[in-house]
Structure 1
Amino acid sequence: MSKARPLIDRKVIYDDGGILQIRIWSVPSPVMASRHKYKYSLFYGRDGVRLVGYDNERGKGDHKHIREDELSYPFTDLDRMIDDFMADVTAIREGKL
């Protein structure tokens, strides 16, 4: 039986203390409630508080967190998801969200 295989594991620490981390794995079968073969955790936060997060937690499927709100996320592909995540991070950093 094959195992999860790491695809991306990046961490950036900004000068203002913000932390951005992108972790994506290829998995042998979809995580419960997801239709694709990726497990992911994308995080941006500061001072111990998550401000933006994208993940596909078992049973919840693809979703994102913007501050305290949890919203369904329509996953299409990895590039689009990373672009959407980075757009949300930029909006938070610029005070637009």
Structure 2
Amino acid sequence: MSQISYRKCLECNTLNENSDYCQHCGAIINIVLKRKLESEEKAFQKLEQQKQEKPSAITTFLKGTLTHPNLIVRLFAKTLYSVWMLVMMIGAALAFVFSYIAA
């Protein structure tokens, strides 16, 4: 035996049986479906906005130096990146040690 659920449309105030959409005006009645569609739309808009944003000038400069045709510039950029990664690894290790001591 199936259950009959009555849902009232918030836009036209008509009762609908077992439906996610209003049979009279076509509006979404199911709140869970409505929230899911809204969250998907927000995620899509956020993704589109991230695609349209241009990277900063510093990021563009650093990426350009890694593929620069001059060997000296390329080596200098790779050396700076290596030093930066070493500093980040030391910082992460110190953060791990301090959090281990604190706990």
Pick the structure with more strand per residue.
Answer: 1
TM-score (norm 2): 0.20
Greater helix share, structure number = 2
Q: Which has the higher relative contact order, 1 or 2, with Cα contacts under 8 A spaced 6 or more apart? A: 1
TM-score (norm: length of structure 1):
0.21
